[in-house]
Amino acid sequence: MERLKKEAMVAELQETLGQAQAVFVTDFKGLRMETLGGLRRKIRQGGGEFRVTKNTLIKLAAKGRPAEKLEPLLVGNNALGSTVSDPAALAKALQEFAKEQEKFVIKGGLLGDRTVTPAQIKALAALPGREALLSSLLGTMQAVPTSFVRVLAAVPQKLVYCLAAIREQKSPA
């Protein structure tokens, strides 16, 4: 590879590693590139990126950044999955692909500036999607005022029922 191409790739990787909320390192040894194409499309739909890159270029791009913590994982054939929007969607896509392809291994990664293990990535993949979590939060937030209004409305309603019962008792039958 030419030096200029390598420098451009390192600059691109630096930008990706700098902006990403999550970066996961995977081992794809024994898989064909056509097989990885489906994974790339799925990750791209979720707002992420999946890229096969040389370890030395990743190390150069990570130097002096939190991504430098990934260096122990950079052995063998590696690909980086990254996202700037939804780490759970990326983890879910990688985990589903790993279930389908036995040779595909998730080695670990970064979530923000913290390292995560494969088990933690699996747990992240088990979480519901961002929209489901937001709707659950909204439902919880709406439940408190709704219950409060019901309690406040019950007081005059009970008074009206009580007055109606007294009226029925006192009226000639």
Domain boundaries, the chain: 3-127
Q: What is the pTM of this model?
A: 0.73
d(CA 89, CA 106): 15
User: What are 25-73's pLDDT values in tens digits?
Assistant: 999 888 888 888 888 998 998 888 999 889 899 998 888 888 888 899 8
Q: In the CATH scheme, what is the homologous superfamily, with its name and number, of domain 3-127?
A: Ribosomal protein L10, N-terminal RNA-binding domain (3.30.70.1730)
Instruction: Provide the residue type at 114 as one letter.
Output: R
Q: 7 - beta bridge partners?
A: none
The position carrying tokens 């630096």 is 14
What is the per-residue pLDDT across 68-115, written as a single tens digit (0 to 9) for each? 888 998 898 889 999 998 888 899 999 999 999 888 999 999 998 899
Q: At what angle do helices 55-62 and 3-19 cross, to 10 degrees?
A: 60
Task: Give the largest Cα separation in the chain, rounded.
Answer: 104
- The alpha-helical segments, DSSP class H, found in the chain are 3-19, 33-45, 55-62, 87-100, 118-126, 130-170
